[in-house]
Amino acid sequence: MAGDVFRVLVDGMKDGVIVMDRERVIHYLNPAAKALTGWQVGGRVPYCAYCTGRSVLPGEERCLLAQNQSLPYFESEMAVYQGKYQPFQMSLAHVSGVGKEERLVLLMRPIFQRQEEEKQRLSQLLLRETIAAQEGERRRIARELHDNVSQKLFSAYLAAHGIKMRLADPDLAHHCAAEIERVVGQGAD
């Protein structure tokens, strides 16, 4: 039962999951690993481009991930589909207690997938920042317009009030000032 649930979970992953032995013979591949690599159960996992070219001492493990278990992940190219090379981010876990042999679980994520995820993340971040900047600018302009118009209307109101108080013809002054006050008062509402 637990094995079936585990297989369903691993089969549904977008990252490639490969279970192999110490000789790199493949015992299991999830559908993503098959699609990414073209490898088959019973075949051997090739060494990555870096490990293929690195110098090793006699008896030393060629695979850097298998040799250095503290290394969380490694990026290199792997031979897939008739020798073509694809860049991957890889991680390797040692699993014991599965039958009599130790198994290695290789997780593979294509770098282009990771780059697409990073592009999406950055795009979302840029969109959020752009919207926030636009909203801030809109608020600043609204505040500026409001403050500017209010100040001008108040100044006009004071000027009209001053005219009313100073003109020689009190009736004309009163009429002009009242008209200015009425127009400015309507604009302030």
Q: Confidence class of residue 186 from pLDDT cuts 50, 70 and 90? A: low
d(CA 150, CA 156): 10
pLDDT of residue 85: 84
Check pLDDT > 80 for residue 160. no
d(CA 187, CA 153): 7
Q: Quick one: fold of 2-117?
A: Beta-Lactamase (3.30.450)
d(CA 4, CA 128): 42
pTM of the model: 0.56
pLDDT of residue 67: 82
The residues spanned by each domain of the chain are: 2-117
Mean pLDDT of 116-138: 84
pLDDT of residue 41: 94
Q: Confidence class of residue 99 from pLDDT cuts 50, 70 and 90? A: low
Mean pLDDT of 165-177: 70
Of 149 and 73, the structure prediction assigns the larger pLDDT to 73
